[in-house]
Structure 1
Amino acid sequence: MAITGRTRLFCVLGDPIVQAQAPALLNPLLDRLGVDAVLVPVHAPADRLDAIVAGLKPIANLDGMLVTIPHKLPMCAHADELSDTAALLGSTNALRREPDGHWYADNFDGAGFVDGLAAEGHQWTGRVVALAGAGGAGLAMAAALMAAGAGRIDVADPDTQRLTAFLTRLEPRWPGRVLAACGPPAPDTAIAVNATPLGLRPADPLPFEPARLPSATLVADIIMRPAETRLLRAATALGLPTHPGIHMLRHQLPLYQEFFRLPATPAD
Structure 2
Amino acid sequence: MSAVRNKRPVQFMISGTTELLAIVGSPISQVKSPENFNAWFARHNKNASMIPIDLQRDSLDGFVDTLRAWRNLRGCVVTVPYKHEIAKRIDVLSERAQALACVNVIRREADGTLVGDMVDGDGFINAVRRHGFEPHGTRALIVGAGGAGSAIAWSLSENGVASLTLADLDTARAQRLGALLAARFPAVAMSLQFDSLDPFDLIVNASPAGMPGNDVLPIAEDRFATLRAGTLVADVVTTPEITRFLELARRAGCRIQTGAEMALAQFGNLGAFMNMTPLTA
- On the 8 A contact 1:211/1:235 being kept in 2, the answer is no
Alignment of 1:133 with 2:144, yes or no, is yes
1:211 to 216, 225, 239: 225
Map 1:1-268 to 2 at 5 A. 1-175=12-186, 177=188, 179-185=190-196, 187-201=198-212, 204-209=215-220, 210-264=224-278
**Structure (1 or 2) with the larger CA radius of gyration:** 2
Change (3 A) 1:64 1:178: farther
- On the 8 A contact 1:163/1:180 being kept in 2, the answer is no
Per-residue displacement from partner, 1:199-255 (whole Å, max 9, x unpaired)? 112652100143332333221001111111111111112222211112212121121
Distance 1:78 1:227 in 2: 32
Moved more, 238-247 or 21-30: 238-247
**TM-score using structure 1 length:** 0.92
Change (3 A) 1:47 1:239: farther
Distance 1:191 1:202 in 2: 26
Counterpart code for 2:238: M
- On the 8 A contact 2:268/2:277 being kept in 1, the answer is no
CA RMSD of aligned residues (A): 2.0
Change (3 A) 1:57 1:178: farther
Shift of 1:47: 4.0
Shift of 1:79: 1.2
Distance 2:279 2:88 in 1: 34
Task: Give the 4+ runs in structure 1 shifted more than 6 A.
Answer: none
Aligned length: 266
The unaligned stretches of length 5 or more in structure 2 are: 1-11
Per-residue displacement from partner, 1:114-159 (whole Å, max 9, x unpaired)? 0111012123221110110000101110111111121111000011
Counterpart code for 2:91: D
Per-residue displacement from partner, 1:144-177 (whole Å, max 9, x unpaired)? 1111121111000011231122123212112373
Give the percent of matched residue pairs that are identical in Structure 1 and Structure 2.
32
Counterpart code for 2:33: A
- On the 8 A contact 1:154/1:180 being kept in 2, the answer is yes
